[in-house]
Amino acid sequence: MKKLLFNISNHPSQEWEEKQREGWDQIIDIPFPSISPNMSMGEVWDLGVNIRASIHDLVRKEEFGYLLWYPIYVMVEGEFSLTFAITELLRQSGWFVILAFPTSERIVEPDGRRQFKFTGWRFVSLRNAEIANSGFIELKNGQGFEVYARCHYAYIGRINGEIKVIFEDDPDFPENPNQNEYDEEGNLISAWYPYYDGVPELFIINDTIIDEITHRTLVTITPIQNGWRIYDHKNNEATYFSNYVQAQKFAYERALLAFFKTNLEVK
């Protein structure tokens, strides 16, 4: 995987220090537009939309691919309102965007001139912003469960600082205020918790679990002779079950954990 940096600024990368250019397979310069003080925020926003479209087209043209799965790095330096618009539009895009901030120290030359020397990069994942939109469930045992994402009747979140996956049929899960559906053996097959629709949700289409943010397949459930095959696309692992409910729960848990790791952890 190539490491790609979009430099949205008026500081062309060919003028950077060698140390600042190190580590990138390619740096694509996008000049930061001039912003008139008479421009409306709507006009500024339209400029941001055009820049986001340029990034999309350039990624496809360069065949970096995996725009929705692997990270692209973006450095934005310029007028504040357009910087905000670009950052917010990238956050809304669903792409794996990591903001790159160059850090520097001020150097005073013997003749009194002051210069800035590049010292390194600071990275911030825009996907972390998705977690700001979390839900909260008070479990029957009195513990608080901060929900980060859901998959059907399974939820991933944090309890006492630890990441866990909890199902609605867990004894400590509060009663569902809506009508649940069960099969003939009493297994939960359909449930809906409307209070947490704001958190990211993993879609399930024909037993294929898809990440809402990246739009990539995480896990598939496939019927086989005498059982079910669960394939974890993130880790390229297959697991087999004879019981569908057990297979389904395992699939939901693996998908939620893959979602959490992919969307929150920046290597």
Residue 143 and residue 80 share a domain: no
pTM of the complete model:
0.51
What's the pLDDT tens digit per position in 53-110? Answer: 888 888 766 555 444 445 678 999 999 999 999 998 887 776 667 788 888 787 777 7
Give every CB contact of residue 128 below 8 A, 6+ residues apart in sequence.
264
What's the pLDDT tens digit per position in 110-138? Answer: 777 777 778 888 777 665 544 445 567 88
Backbone dihedral angles phi then psi of residue 55, each to the nearest 5 degrees: -60, -45
CA dist 129 and 209 (Å) reads 22
Nearest to 77 by CA among 140, 7, 9, 137: 9
Query: Which tokens hold the place of 4?
Result: 């790609």
* Boundary residue ending a domain (67, 99, 126): 126
Q: What is the reported pLDDT for 136?
A: 75
Reply yes or no on whether the pLDDT at 267 is more than 50: no
What does the mean pLDDT of the chain come to? 80
Nearest to 128 by CA among 163, 103, 160, 91: 91
Residue 150 and residue 64 share a domain: no
In the chain, which ranges are E strands?
Answer: 4-9, 26-31, 72-76, 97-108, 114-125, 135-138, 144-151, 154-159, 162-167, 181-182, 188-190, 203-205, 208-210, 217-224, 227-232, 237-241
Whole-number CA gyration radius for the chain: 23
Q: How many domains does the chain have?
A: 2
Residue 106 and residue 194 share a domain: no
What's the pLDDT tens digit per position in 195-206? Answer: 454 577 788 887
Its sign, for the CA torsion 79, 27, 86, 72, is negative
* Boundary residue ending a domain (72, 93, 126): 126
Least confident of 168-172, 227-231, 243-247: 168-172
CA dist 254 and 267 (Å) reads 20
Domain that holds residue 189: 131-264
CA dist 45 and 265 (Å) reads 29
Residue 137 and residue 42 share a domain: no
> Are 69 and 234 a contacting pair, CB within 8 Å?
no
